[in-house]
Amino acid sequence: MAVLCEQVNLSGYTTLRLGGPARRFVEATTDDELIGAVRKAGEAGEEVLVLGGGSNLVVADEGFPGTVVHVATRGITVTPRPSGGRVLVRAQAGEEWEPFVARCVDEGLAGVECLSGIPGRLGATPIQNVGAYGQDVAETIAEVRAYDRERGEIVTLDHAACRFSYRGSVFKGSSRYIVLEVAFALELADLSTPVRYAELARSLGVQAGERVPLKDAREAVLALRRRKGMVLDAADPDTRSAGSFFTNPILDADQLADLEKRVADRLGPDAAFPRYPEADGHVKTSAAWLIDKAGFAKGHARGPVRISTKHTLALTNPDGARTADLLALAREVRDGVREAFGVTMVNEPVFVGVRL
Protein backbone atom coordinates (compact mmCIF):
# COMPACT_ATOMS: atom_id res chain seq x y z
CA MET A 1 0.00 0.00 0.00
CA ALA A 2 1.31 3.45 -0.93
CA VAL A 3 2.48 5.59 1.99
CA LEU A 4 0.87 9.04 2.15
CA CYS A 5 2.32 11.95 4.16
CA GLU A 6 1.78 15.70 4.22
CA GLN A 7 4.15 18.67 4.29
CA VAL A 8 7.26 16.60 3.47
CA ASN A 9 10.31 18.78 2.94
CA LEU A 10 11.66 18.07 -0.56
CA SER A 11 15.19 19.19 0.26
CA GLY A 12 15.73 15.71 1.69
CA TYR A 13 14.89 14.18 -1.69
CA THR A 14 17.12 16.25 -4.01
CA THR A 15 20.88 16.06 -4.47
CA LEU A 16 21.05 19.86 -4.19
CA ARG A 17 19.44 19.58 -0.74
CA LEU A 18 17.11 22.43 -1.69
CA GLY A 19 13.35 22.79 -1.94
CA GLY A 20 10.39 23.45 0.32
CA PRO A 21 7.56 21.15 1.43
CA ALA A 22 5.21 19.08 -0.70
CA ARG A 23 1.56 19.48 0.24
CA ARG A 24 1.12 15.73 -0.17
CA PHE A 25 3.81 13.09 -0.60
CA VAL A 26 3.14 9.52 -1.75
CA GLU A 27 5.72 6.71 -1.76
CA ALA A 28 4.74 4.24 -4.54
CA THR A 29 6.39 0.80 -4.59
CA THR A 30 4.31 -0.78 -7.39
CA ASP A 31 3.02 0.34 -10.77
CA ASP A 32 -0.55 0.15 -9.47
CA GLU A 33 0.31 2.41 -6.54
CA LEU A 34 2.11 4.84 -8.84
CA ILE A 35 -0.74 5.01 -11.36
CA GLY A 36 -3.35 5.17 -8.60
CA ALA A 37 -1.65 8.10 -6.89
CA VAL A 38 -1.32 10.01 -10.16
CA ARG A 39 -4.94 9.32 -11.09
CA LYS A 40 -6.27 10.35 -7.68
CA ALA A 41 -4.38 13.63 -7.74
CA GLY A 42 -5.54 14.32 -11.28
CA GLU A 43 -9.17 13.66 -10.41
CA ALA A 44 -8.86 16.06 -7.48
CA GLY A 45 -7.48 18.74 -9.79
CA GLU A 46 -4.10 18.76 -8.03
CA GLU A 47 -0.73 19.32 -9.63
CA VAL A 48 1.42 16.19 -9.73
CA LEU A 49 5.20 15.91 -9.51
CA VAL A 50 6.68 12.46 -10.17
CA LEU A 51 9.95 12.25 -8.25
CA GLY A 52 12.79 9.81 -8.70
CA GLY A 53 16.24 10.34 -7.23
CA GLY A 54 15.98 14.13 -7.29
CA SER A 55 19.36 14.46 -8.99
CA ASN A 56 18.08 16.69 -11.77
CA LEU A 57 15.62 18.92 -9.93
CA VAL A 58 15.61 22.51 -8.74
CA VAL A 59 12.59 22.95 -6.44
CA ALA A 60 11.22 26.27 -5.22
CA ASP A 61 11.76 27.34 -1.63
CA GLU A 62 7.98 27.49 -1.34
CA GLY A 63 7.81 23.79 -2.16
CA PHE A 64 5.15 22.09 -4.27
CA PRO A 65 1.44 22.85 -3.82
CA GLY A 66 0.16 19.49 -5.08
CA THR A 67 1.01 15.80 -4.77
CA VAL A 68 4.55 14.48 -5.11
CA VAL A 69 4.67 10.81 -6.09
CA HIS A 70 8.02 9.26 -5.18
CA VAL A 71 8.81 6.33 -7.48
CA ALA A 72 10.19 3.38 -5.49
CA THR A 73 9.34 0.48 -7.81
CA ARG A 74 11.94 -2.27 -8.19
CA GLY A 75 12.69 -5.12 -10.57
CA ILE A 76 15.10 -6.09 -13.38
CA THR A 77 14.71 -8.90 -15.92
CA VAL A 78 17.21 -10.01 -18.57
CA THR A 79 16.03 -11.77 -21.75
CA PRO A 80 18.39 -12.97 -24.53
CA ARG A 81 17.24 -11.95 -28.00
CA PRO A 82 16.79 -14.74 -30.56
CA SER A 83 19.09 -12.97 -33.03
CA GLY A 84 22.00 -13.33 -30.60
CA GLY A 85 24.64 -10.82 -29.56
CA ARG A 86 22.20 -8.62 -27.68
CA VAL A 87 19.96 -9.02 -24.67
CA LEU A 88 16.90 -7.09 -23.60
CA VAL A 89 17.16 -5.74 -20.06
CA ARG A 90 13.91 -4.46 -18.57
CA ALA A 91 14.11 -2.35 -15.43
CA GLN A 92 11.50 -0.65 -13.28
CA ALA A 93 11.53 3.13 -13.09
CA GLY A 94 12.42 3.17 -9.39
CA GLU A 95 15.69 1.29 -9.78
CA GLU A 96 18.78 3.32 -8.92
CA TRP A 97 20.76 4.06 -12.09
CA GLU A 98 24.34 3.58 -10.85
CA PRO A 99 23.77 0.06 -9.39
CA PHE A 100 21.99 -0.82 -12.64
CA VAL A 101 25.04 0.18 -14.69
CA ALA A 102 27.34 -1.69 -12.31
CA ARG A 103 25.25 -4.85 -12.74
CA CYS A 104 25.28 -4.55 -16.55
CA VAL A 105 29.08 -4.23 -16.56
CA ASP A 106 29.49 -7.16 -14.13
CA GLU A 107 27.29 -9.32 -16.38
CA GLY A 108 29.16 -8.38 -19.57
CA LEU A 109 26.48 -6.18 -21.10
CA ALA A 110 27.86 -3.24 -23.07
CA GLY A 111 26.14 0.02 -23.95
CA VAL A 112 25.79 1.97 -20.69
CA GLU A 113 29.27 1.65 -19.16
CA CYS A 114 30.21 5.26 -19.92
CA LEU A 115 27.16 6.39 -17.95
CA SER A 116 28.64 5.10 -14.70
CA GLY A 117 28.44 7.26 -11.59
CA ILE A 118 25.38 9.26 -12.64
CA PRO A 119 23.01 9.68 -9.68
CA GLY A 120 19.25 9.28 -9.83
CA ARG A 121 16.72 6.64 -10.75
CA LEU A 122 16.32 4.76 -13.96
CA GLY A 123 12.91 6.16 -14.93
CA ALA A 124 14.42 9.62 -15.40
CA THR A 125 17.00 8.51 -17.96
CA PRO A 126 14.76 8.46 -21.07
CA ILE A 127 13.12 11.75 -20.09
CA GLN A 128 16.39 13.67 -20.21
CA ASN A 129 18.09 11.31 -22.68
CA VAL A 130 20.85 11.11 -20.11
CA GLY A 131 24.32 11.09 -21.60
CA ALA A 132 27.99 11.42 -20.72
CA TYR A 133 31.43 10.60 -22.12
CA GLY A 134 30.16 9.85 -25.60
CA GLN A 135 27.13 7.70 -24.71
CA ASP A 136 23.42 8.54 -24.53
CA VAL A 137 20.73 6.21 -23.22
CA ALA A 138 18.86 6.74 -26.49
CA GLU A 139 21.45 4.53 -28.21
CA THR A 140 20.31 1.47 -26.28
CA ILE A 141 16.70 2.12 -25.26
CA ALA A 142 14.45 -0.23 -27.22
CA GLU A 143 11.15 0.84 -25.68
CA VAL A 144 9.55 2.56 -22.71
CA ARG A 145 6.45 1.36 -20.91
CA ALA A 146 4.50 4.30 -19.51
CA TYR A 147 1.15 5.38 -18.13
CA ASP A 148 -0.55 7.70 -20.62
CA ARG A 149 -2.55 10.19 -18.56
CA GLU A 150 -4.47 11.44 -21.61
CA ARG A 151 -5.70 7.98 -22.59
CA GLY A 152 -5.85 6.63 -19.06
CA GLU A 153 -3.98 3.45 -19.94
CA ILE A 154 -0.56 1.83 -20.00
CA VAL A 155 1.21 2.17 -23.37
CA THR A 156 4.51 1.02 -24.84
CA LEU A 157 6.52 3.55 -26.85
CA ASP A 158 9.13 2.17 -29.20
CA HIS A 159 12.41 3.97 -29.82
CA ALA A 160 11.02 6.18 -32.60
CA ALA A 161 7.98 7.18 -30.53
CA CYS A 162 10.27 8.38 -27.73
CA ARG A 163 11.54 11.14 -30.08
CA PHE A 164 14.95 11.38 -28.50
CA SER A 165 17.05 14.50 -29.00
CA TYR A 166 20.02 16.11 -27.27
CA ARG A 167 19.02 15.99 -23.57
CA GLY A 168 15.38 15.68 -24.59
CA SER A 169 12.55 13.33 -25.51
CA VAL A 170 8.78 13.16 -25.90
CA PHE A 171 8.60 12.82 -22.11
CA LYS A 172 10.47 16.02 -21.25
CA GLY A 173 8.42 19.12 -20.51
CA SER A 174 5.14 17.20 -20.61
CA SER A 175 3.02 15.61 -17.88
CA ARG A 176 1.33 13.19 -20.26
CA TYR A 177 3.53 10.13 -19.73
CA ILE A 178 4.61 8.55 -16.45
CA VAL A 179 7.57 6.24 -17.08
CA LEU A 180 7.03 2.79 -15.54
CA GLU A 181 9.70 0.61 -17.12
CA VAL A 182 12.57 1.00 -19.59
CA ALA A 183 13.87 -1.77 -21.88
CA PHE A 184 17.51 -1.58 -22.98
CA ALA A 185 19.00 -3.60 -25.86
CA LEU A 186 22.57 -4.22 -24.70
CA GLU A 187 25.43 -6.03 -26.40
CA LEU A 188 26.71 -9.24 -24.84
CA ALA A 189 30.44 -8.47 -24.91
CA ASP A 190 33.62 -8.32 -22.86
CA LEU A 191 34.59 -5.01 -24.46
CA SER A 192 33.01 -1.59 -24.26
CA THR A 193 31.30 0.13 -27.13
CA PRO A 194 33.81 2.23 -29.15
CA VAL A 195 35.26 4.99 -26.96
CA ARG A 196 34.23 8.29 -28.55
CA TYR A 197 35.01 10.91 -25.94
CA ALA A 198 38.52 12.31 -26.31
CA GLU A 199 39.12 12.88 -22.59
CA LEU A 200 38.04 9.32 -21.79
CA ALA A 201 40.20 7.89 -24.58
CA ARG A 202 43.23 9.77 -23.23
CA SER A 203 42.64 8.49 -19.71
CA LEU A 204 42.45 4.93 -21.05
CA GLY A 205 45.52 5.36 -23.26
CA VAL A 206 43.67 4.46 -26.46
CA GLN A 207 42.64 6.13 -29.69
CA ALA A 208 39.08 7.33 -30.19
CA GLY A 209 37.02 4.52 -31.69
CA GLU A 210 38.85 1.72 -29.90
CA ARG A 211 37.15 -0.67 -27.49
CA VAL A 212 38.45 -1.54 -24.05
CA PRO A 213 37.44 -4.05 -21.36
CA LEU A 214 34.06 -3.08 -19.93
CA LYS A 215 35.33 -2.71 -16.38
CA ASP A 216 38.22 -0.52 -17.53
CA ALA A 217 35.81 1.86 -19.24
CA ARG A 218 33.60 2.02 -16.15
CA GLU A 219 36.49 2.64 -13.74
CA ALA A 220 37.96 5.35 -15.98
CA VAL A 221 34.61 7.15 -16.16
CA LEU A 222 34.17 6.94 -12.39
CA ALA A 223 37.66 8.34 -11.87
CA LEU A 224 36.99 11.26 -14.22
CA ARG A 225 33.64 12.00 -12.58
CA ARG A 226 35.13 11.91 -9.08
CA ARG A 227 37.79 14.43 -10.08
CA LYS A 228 34.98 16.72 -11.23
CA GLY A 229 32.85 16.22 -8.12
CA MET A 230 30.21 14.36 -10.14
CA VAL A 231 29.96 11.22 -8.00
CA LEU A 232 27.82 11.66 -4.89
CA ASP A 233 29.93 11.83 -1.74
CA ALA A 234 28.47 13.03 1.57
CA ALA A 235 31.92 14.27 2.61
CA ASP A 236 32.38 16.41 -0.52
CA PRO A 237 30.18 19.55 -0.71
CA ASP A 238 31.00 19.90 -4.42
CA THR A 239 28.76 16.89 -5.08
CA ARG A 240 25.76 18.70 -3.57
CA SER A 241 24.59 19.76 -7.00
CA ALA A 242 22.28 18.82 -9.85
CA GLY A 243 25.18 17.77 -12.06
CA SER A 244 25.74 19.89 -15.16
CA PHE A 245 23.56 22.96 -14.70
CA PHE A 246 23.66 24.11 -18.33
CA THR A 247 23.48 22.15 -21.57
CA ASN A 248 26.16 22.52 -24.23
CA PRO A 249 24.86 25.13 -26.71
CA ILE A 250 24.03 23.97 -30.23
CA LEU A 251 24.56 26.76 -32.75
CA ASP A 252 23.35 27.44 -36.28
CA ALA A 253 25.62 29.04 -38.88
CA ASP A 254 24.80 32.64 -37.92
CA GLN A 255 25.24 31.96 -34.21
CA LEU A 256 28.54 30.22 -34.88
CA ALA A 257 29.84 33.15 -36.93
CA ASP A 258 28.85 35.57 -34.17
CA LEU A 259 30.61 33.44 -31.55
CA GLU A 260 33.77 33.28 -33.68
CA LYS A 261 33.83 37.08 -33.88
CA ARG A 262 33.21 37.55 -30.17
CA VAL A 263 35.89 35.02 -29.21
CA ALA A 264 38.42 36.76 -31.47
CA ASP A 265 37.49 40.19 -30.04
CA ARG A 266 37.71 38.98 -26.43
CA LEU A 267 40.57 36.49 -26.52
CA GLY A 268 42.56 37.39 -29.63
CA PRO A 269 42.46 36.49 -33.33
CA ASP A 270 44.16 33.12 -32.82
CA ALA A 271 41.88 31.98 -30.00
CA ALA A 272 39.96 28.76 -30.62
CA PHE A 273 36.95 27.32 -28.85
CA PRO A 274 35.59 23.75 -28.68
CA ARG A 275 33.33 22.82 -31.57
CA TYR A 276 31.70 19.52 -32.42
CA PRO A 277 29.79 19.15 -35.71
CA GLU A 278 26.24 17.82 -35.44
CA ALA A 279 24.53 15.68 -38.07
CA ASP A 280 22.13 18.45 -39.14
CA GLY A 281 24.81 21.02 -39.89
CA HIS A 282 24.67 22.68 -36.49
CA VAL A 283 27.71 22.86 -34.23
CA LYS A 284 27.85 22.07 -30.53
CA THR A 285 30.20 24.00 -28.28
CA SER A 286 31.24 23.66 -24.65
CA ALA A 287 29.18 25.32 -21.93
CA ALA A 288 32.04 24.81 -19.46
CA TRP A 289 34.48 26.61 -21.78
CA LEU A 290 32.09 29.56 -22.24
CA ILE A 291 31.53 29.88 -18.50
CA ASP A 292 35.23 29.83 -17.74
CA LYS A 293 36.20 32.28 -20.50
CA ALA A 294 33.39 34.65 -19.47
CA GLY A 295 35.21 35.05 -16.17
CA PHE A 296 33.51 32.50 -13.91
CA ALA A 297 36.25 30.32 -12.50
CA LYS A 298 35.86 27.16 -10.44
CA GLY A 299 34.85 28.11 -6.92
CA HIS A 300 33.26 31.41 -7.95
CA ALA A 301 30.81 32.20 -5.14
CA ARG A 302 27.69 34.29 -4.75
CA GLY A 303 26.54 34.31 -1.14
CA PRO A 304 26.18 30.77 0.22
CA VAL A 305 26.35 29.03 -3.19
CA ARG A 306 29.21 28.60 -5.62
CA ILE A 307 30.43 27.05 -8.81
CA SER A 308 32.04 23.71 -7.97
CA THR A 309 35.73 23.91 -7.15
CA LYS A 310 36.22 20.99 -9.53
CA HIS A 311 33.96 21.68 -12.52
CA THR A 312 32.55 24.95 -13.90
CA LEU A 313 29.31 23.33 -15.06
CA ALA A 314 28.11 22.40 -11.58
CA LEU A 315 26.45 24.92 -9.26
CA THR A 316 26.68 23.72 -5.69
CA ASN A 317 25.06 24.23 -2.29
CA PRO A 318 27.94 23.77 0.18
CA ASP A 319 25.74 24.52 3.19
CA GLY A 320 22.68 26.45 4.26
CA ALA A 321 21.58 28.00 0.95
CA ARG A 322 18.11 28.53 -0.44
CA THR A 323 16.89 27.85 -3.97
CA ALA A 324 16.70 31.62 -4.51
CA ASP A 325 20.45 31.83 -3.84
CA LEU A 326 21.18 29.14 -6.43
CA LEU A 327 19.03 30.86 -9.05
CA ALA A 328 20.79 34.17 -8.44
CA LEU A 329 24.13 32.53 -9.20
CA ALA A 330 22.68 30.75 -12.26
CA ARG A 331 21.37 34.06 -13.61
CA GLU A 332 24.73 35.74 -13.00
CA VAL A 333 26.51 33.03 -15.00
CA ARG A 334 23.89 32.94 -17.78
CA ASP A 335 23.90 36.73 -18.19
CA GLY A 336 27.69 36.92 -18.05
CA VAL A 337 28.09 34.34 -20.82
CA ARG A 338 25.46 36.08 -22.95
CA GLU A 339 27.17 39.45 -22.53
CA ALA A 340 30.61 38.03 -23.34
CA PHE A 341 29.76 35.66 -26.17
CA GLY A 342 26.16 36.26 -27.26
CA VAL A 343 25.13 32.72 -26.36
CA THR A 344 22.13 32.16 -24.09
CA MET A 345 22.71 29.21 -21.77
CA VAL A 346 19.84 26.78 -21.14
CA ASN A 347 19.38 24.99 -17.84
CA GLU A 348 19.68 21.19 -17.88
CA PRO A 349 17.90 20.40 -14.56
CA VAL A 350 14.10 20.41 -14.40
CA PHE A 351 12.71 23.47 -12.61
CA VAL A 352 9.77 23.05 -10.25
CA GLY A 353 8.02 26.28 -9.30
CA VAL A 354 10.95 28.45 -10.44
CA ARG A 355 12.53 29.78 -13.61
CA LEU A 356 15.65 31.64 -14.69
Name beta bridge partners: 9. Answer: 21
Query: What would you report as the CA-atom Rg of the chain, rounded to the nearest whole angstrom?
Result: 21
Of 240, 244, 302, 306, which residue is the catalytic one?
Answer: 244
What letter does residue 247 receive in the DSSP assignment? P
The verdict on whether 348 is a catalytic residue reads yes
What letter does residue 277 receive in the DSSP assignment? E
Closest CA to 34 of 194, 184, 146: 146
Q: Which residues of 209-240 are buried (b: 16+ CB within 10 A; e: fewer)?
A: eebbebebbbbbbbebbeebbbbbeeebbbbb
d(CA 130, CA 122): 10
d(CA 73, CA 61): 28
The verdict on whether 167 is a catalytic residue reads yes
Farthest-apart Cα atoms in the chain, separation: 65
39 CB-near residues (< 8 Å, 6+ apart): 152
Of 86, 167, 218, 225, which residue is the catalytic one?
Answer: 167
DSSP 83-146: TSSEEEEEEETTSBHHHHHHHHHHTTEESSGGGTT--SBGGGHHHHT-EETTEEGGGTEEEEEE
Of 139, 219, 260, 348, which residue is the catalytic one?
Answer: 348
What's the CA angle centered on 313, arms 327 and 280, to 5 degrees? 105
**In a 3-state reduction of DSSP, which class is residue 203?**
helix
What letter does residue 168 receive in the DSSP assignment? B
d(CA 241, CA 232): 9
d(CA 186, CA 105): 10
Catalytic residue annotation: 167, 244, 348
